[in-house]
Amino acid sequence: MPPRRPPLTTADIARIRDDFPVLHVRRGGKDLVYLDNAATSQKPRLVIDTERHYYEAQNANVHRGMHYLSEIATNAYEEARKKVQRFINAPLTCEVIFTRGTTESINLVAQTFGRQNLHEGDEVLISAMEHHSNIVPWQMLCESCGAKLKVIPINERGELKMDEFEKLISPRTKIVSVVHVSNALGTINTVKEICAIAHKHGVPVLVDGAQAVPHLPIDVQDIGCDFYAFSGHKMCGPTGIGVLFGRAERLNLMPPFMGGGDMILSVTFEKTTYNGLPYKFEAGTPNIAGVIALGAAIDYLDGIGMDRIAAYEHDLTQYGTQVLQSIEGVKMIGTAREKAGALSFVMESAHAHDIGQLLSDQGVAIRAGHHCAQPVMQCFGVPATARASLAFYNTKEDLDALGAALRKVNEVFA
Amino acid sequence: MAGNRALYEQVILEHNKKPRNFREMPDATRKLEGFNPLCGDHFTLFVKLNGDVVEDVSFSGAGCAISKSSASVMTTLIKGKTIKEAEQLFATFHKMVTAPPDAPIDEESAGRLAVFAGVREFPVRIKCATLAWHTLLSLLDGKASPVSTE
Ligand SMILES: Cc1ncc(COP(=O)(O)O)c(C=O)c1O
C-alpha cells in the first residue's frame, strides 16, 4: 500500500483541469461546463499524446513482426495489460482481455460462457437497473437456447432488493450479471455481497463496472466476481477499447468468442488449436493504440489516486444533490444511500429534453433521455430524466452553474 | 441563448403551459396513439369527422414542450378543415421544419406554424414537432395501429 496522500484541494483540481484541453472549449464567453461524464469522460493530454506518439513513433502490428517497431509495439501493448491488471488487482495478467468496451465484454461472456452453460429452462439473473448492454446480450442468449431472464427488483430509492435477490436464485440459475454503479441512478451496488451470496449457490457473477471504474478504486479479488467488464472511454481513455477481466479457471474452460488471427496456435484445414489466455479471446489485430493509450489513462488516474478521486467525488456528489434539491420543482430519481457519479432528476416545469436543450444553450452539458436504461425509467414511471454526471475534474462552480441554469429553466417555463 | 430563444418562442411556451383542445373526446369518431420512443412523448389524438370535415379534434397525453405545443397549435388549425386541407397544412409544416436552418421562411403559407421554424436548427427535435401531425394524418387516413417515430 502506498502512503495515504492528502485529499485533493481546489488548487489540485485547477491543475488537473489544465490537463484536459476540452475543458477549455468556450461557450458563450465561458468555459463549457461538462456534466455528461457518464456518457463519456474527457481525455487528458497524456492520453492524447500517448496515442499520437504511438502512431508517430511506434506503429506496428503486435505479436507478429520480428522487427524493431513490432517489438516496441508489442511491449507497450503488453505493458498496458499489466497496468490494467494492477489497476483492478487481477491475480494474473492473462486474465485481462482487451475488447471494444463494456458492451463487447458482456456479449463475449454471453456468447461463450452462456452458450456453453445455458440450456432450455436455465436462468440468467440480472437487475432492474441494468444498462441495455447488460440486458440485450442475455435476451439474445435466452432466445437462442430457451433460457429465461429473471430480474432483481429495486426499491423506491433505486437500491437492489437484496432479500428478493437471494430468493430469485434457483438451481437453474447459471449466471448473475449486475451493474456495479448504475448509470441512470448513480446507485452503488453491494457487489461483494452479491458475489458471496451467488457463490454460496455455486453461481458465477459478472459485474458491469462501466460506471464504477472511473469513480472508485476497484479490486476484483476483494469483490470476488468471476467477470468484470468496463470501458476505456469512461475513464479518461480512448473510445473503442475496453476490458473483460475473467478468472482464469473460467476463461480456460470457455470456447473462443471470435475466430481469426492471434487466437490460434496452429491452423490446418483439419484442425485448429486455440491459443492460451488472453489471446484466445483477442482475435484479429487489436486496437493497439487504444490499449496503449488506456495504459496512459491508468497512469494518469493512478498519479492522482483513485482513493482521492473517490473521496473528492463523494463530496461533489453531495454538493450536487444539495444544489438540485434547492431548486423548485426538482425531483431526484435515484436516492440510494451510496451513490457515485450520476445525479438523475426530473422537473415539474419542463420535460427532460427541454431541460437539456436550455442547459446546452447556457453552456452546461448534461444528458436527457432514458440513458439506455428504459426499464429503470419504467420503474420510476418517468419517460426520461435529465442527468448531470460528474468526474474528478468537475468543481462546485460547475454545479453552481448547473443550479443557475436550472433556475433559468424554471423562469422560461414558468 | 439566441438559438433557444428562437426554439422556445413565446407562443410555444404558452401552448405548452395551456394546451388547447387538451382533453379526451368520449364521442370521437376516431382516435389514435402516437409515440416518440426515444423521448417518451406519448399522445392520443381524437377526431370527430363529418364527411371529410374535421368537426372537432383534441388530444391527451404527455411530452416535451415542442411536441405538446405542436399538437396544441395543430388542433386549433385543423378544426373545421377538410382532410385535404389538413394534409396541405402538414406538407407546409413538414417542409418548413426540415428545411436547412438558413432557408427563408414563407411566413404567409406557414402562418401560425411559423413559430416552429426554430426546430430546423435542432434536427433531433423534428420528431417532437411532427409527432402529433404524423398521428393525425394516419388517423385521418383510417389507420388503426399506433404511430411511432422510430
Ligand atoms: C452501466 C453501463 N454499462 C454498460 C455501458 C456500455 O458501455 P459501452 O457503450 O462503452 O460499451 C454503459 C455506457 O453507457 C454503462 O453506463
Pick from A353, A370, A382: CB nearest B64: A353
A286 and A313 share one domain: no
Helix intervals (H) in A19-67: 45-53
Fold of B2-148: Sufe protein. Chain: A (3.90.1010)
What's the length of chain B?
150
A25 and A148 share one domain: no
CA dist B69 and B44 (Å) reads: 14
Q: How far is A147 from chain B (nearest CA, A)?
A: 28
Q: Which DSSP state fits A2?
A: P
Grid cell in block for residue A226: 468471476
Of A187, A215, A231, best ligand 1 pocket probe by most atoms within 8 Å of the beta carbon: A231
Whole-number Cα distances in Å, A34 to A40, A223, A357? 10, 31, 14
End position of a domain, from candidates A302, A326, A353: A302
Judging contacts by C-beta atoms under 8 Å, the chain B residues touching residue A352 are 39, 64
Is residue A42 domain-resident?
Answer: no
A268 and A206 share one domain: yes
Residue A330 pairs in a beta bridge with A347
Beta carbons of A94 and A276 less than 8 angstroms apart: yes
Is residue A37 domain-resident?
Answer: no
Q: Which of A145, A195, A372, A379 is catalytic?
A: A372
A354 and B42 in contact by Cβ < 8 A? no
Q: Is the CB of A126 under 6 A from ligand 1?
A: no
Which of B111, B115, B85, B102 is closest to B8 using CA atoms? B115
Q: What is the CATH number of the domain that holds A66?
A: 3.40.640.10
Identify the residue with better confidence: A31 or A34. A34
- Tell me, rounded to whole angstroms, the distance of Cα A248 from its chain centroid: 22
A291 and A325 share one domain: no
Whether the per-residue pLDDT at A51 is higher than 80: the answer is: yes
Phi and psi (nearest 5°) for B112?
A: -75, -10
| Degrees, nearest 5: CA angle A157-A163-A169 | 120
Q: Is the CB of A179 under 6 A from ligand 1?
A: yes
A372 is catalytic: yes
Please, what's the b/e burial string for A399-414 (b: 16 or more CB within 10 A of its CB; e: otherwise)? Answer: bebbbebbebbbebbe
- pTM, two decimals, is 0.93
Is residue A36 domain-resident?
Answer: no
A275 and A316 share one domain: no
- Residues A349-362 have pLDDT tens digits of 999 999 999 999 99
Phi and psi (nearest 5°) for A209?
A: -100, 15
Q: Which DSSP state fits A391?
A: -
Whether the per-residue pLDDT at A29 is higher than 90: the answer is: no
> How many independent structural domains does chain A possess?
2
Q: What is the ipTM of this complex?
A: 0.85
Q: Is the CB of A103 under 6 A from ligand 1?
A: yes
- Residues A58-81 have pLDDT tens digits of 999 998 778 989 999 999 999 999
A309 and A296 share one domain: no
- Tell me, rounded to whole angstroms, the distance of Cα A235 from its chain centroid: 8
Beta carbons of A264 and A82 less than 8 angstroms apart: no
Q: Is the CB of A186 under 6 A from ligand 1?
A: no
Pick from A354, A361, A382: CB nearest B65: A354
Q: A134 lies in which domain range?
A: 49-302
A354 and B62 in contact by Cβ < 8 A? no
How many beta carbons lie within 10 A of that of residue A117, not counting itself? 15
Phi and psi (nearest 5°) for A235?
A: -125, 40
Q: How far is A161 from chain B (nearest CA, A)?
A: 27
Q: How far is A329 from chain B (nearest CA, A)?
A: 15
Grid cell in block for residue B43: 399522445
Phi-psi region of A314 (alpha: psi -120 to 50; beta: other; left: phi over 0): alpha
Which of A148, A151, A150 is closest to A122 using CA atoms? A148
Q: Is the CB of A183 under 6 A from ligand 1?
A: yes
What pLDDT is stored for residue A262 in this prediction? 86
What pLDDT is stored for residue A26 in this prediction? 87
Residue B32 pairs in a beta bridge with B45
CA dist A86 and A67 (Å) reads: 29
CA dist A105 and A242 (Å) reads: 8
- Residues A291-321 have pLDDT tens digits of 999 999 999 999 999 999 999 999 999 999 9
A353 and B16 in contact by Cβ < 8 A? no
What pLDDT is stored for residue B5 in this prediction? 47
